[in-house]
Structure 1
Amino acid sequence: MLYQAEFWVAVAFVLLMAVFAYFGIHHTVLKALDHRAARIKAELDDARQLRDEAAKLLAEYKARHAKAEGEAQEIIAFAKAEAERIASEAKTKLEDFVARRTKTAESKIALAEAQALADVRAAAANAAVTAASAILSQSVTGSVADDLLTKGIAEVKAKLN
């Protein structure tokens, strides 16, 4: 038994443990493990706190995004309504402008027609007077002719004008 390696390894292990116990190494190892456990626990607490803050920030940004989205939709709806209103006003103004221009053109046309009709009547009256005076001057002579001519011209002018 004294010549077996396992025996001497067991003896050395027991002696090593006795030396460690004598110098209080086990207390040092336990303190180091306790410190490490406390440090890990603190890191985990910090990580939880950071995760909670991140979740809070995420919720806040989502709320801001939703609010901004709603405001954008309101702006778009207002712009569409404003564009429709402006288009409607422009259409109404254009229709009024076209109606006024049409009335003005129609009144100018009517005035031109009346002027042309008056010019035609005057030209016809002058032509009739000239023709009547030419016919009467050739067929009737003397004072009777002059009276008839004057009377006929007056009648024609009165009827045509």
Structure 2
Amino acid sequence: MRNVIALALTFGAASPALAASGPFLSMSNTNFVVLLGFLLFVGILLYAKVPSMLGGQLDSRAAGIQSDLDDARALREEAQTLLASYERKHKEVQEQADRIVAAARVDASAAADQAKADLESSIARRLASAEDQIISARDAAVKDVRDQAISIAIAAADLVIAKQMTATEANKLIDAAISDVETKLH
């Protein structure tokens, strides 16, 4: 309050209205009237506790700002916690994806090896089957050639024997064959 009065006196004393005529403490002196009006205004403000109301409003505003700052800090901490959680989950998902890719590579390699082994065994079976077919075809061809050779030999022998054999020799051969069969059967 002293500061306000001193301030009022300073402004009042420094004004050019001091040149007014008459004593200073008279109602005809404008400086004195202005000083009294100002002091009365300041007194009313002090009586109505306007400075404390302004201080209270400023304090409540500061408390509101502080509350907003605390809320912002809490939100920031919560956001950092969520970010750390999401980063941890992202890292876990990335590690899981890496494990899945590694397992897929191992499975693909094993499948390729199995397919290669299956192909080799299939080729070996087919080669063996082809060799068996070749041997069977060769044996059949040899048998056909033998059968034909035997047929030709029998036909040739028949012709040779037919030209060289007489009826008596034929009867002797027949009798020999019959006796040979009798001995083998009994």
Q: What SS does structure 2 have at the residue aligned with 1:21?
A: helix
Structure 1 residue 62 corresponds to structure 2 residue 83: no
Q: Does 1:37 align with 2:62?
A: yes
* Cα distance in 2 between the residues matched to 1:6 and 1:108: 139
Trace 1:43-122 onto structure 2 (pairs within 5 A).
Answer: 43-122=68-147
Work out the number of aligned pairs and report it: 148
Structure 1 unaligned blocks of 5 or more: 151-161
Choose between structure 1 and 2 for higher RCO, CA contacts under 8 A separated by at least 6 residues: 1
Matched, 1:142 2:142: no
C-alpha spacing 1:7/1:82, structure 2 compared with 1 (3 Å): farther
> Deviation above 2 Å: which 4+ runs of structure 1?
5-15, 135-138, 140-147
Cα offset for 1:14? 3.8
**C-alpha spacing 1:87/1:144, structure 2 compared with 1 (3 Å):** farther
The alpha carbon displacement at 1:145 in A equals 6.8
Seen in structure 2, the aligned counterparts of structure 1 residues 129 and 82 have a Cα distance that, compared at 3 Å, is: same
Task: Report deviation, 1:28.
Answer: 1.3
Which whole-Å deviations, capped at 9, do the CAs of 1:84-140 have from their partners, x for residues lacking one? 2122112212221221122122112201211210111121122123123324533x3
Provide structure 2 residue ranges, at least 5 long, that are not aligned to the other structure.
Answer: 1-16, 21-27, 175-186
C-alpha RMSD of matched pairs (Å): 3.1
Structure having the larger proportion of residues in helix: 1
Q: Which has the larger radius of gyration?
A: 2
The match for 2:179 is: none
The amino acid across from 1:97 in the alignment is: S
- The 1-side partners of 2:33 and 2:102 are apart by 91
TM-score by length of 1: 0.76
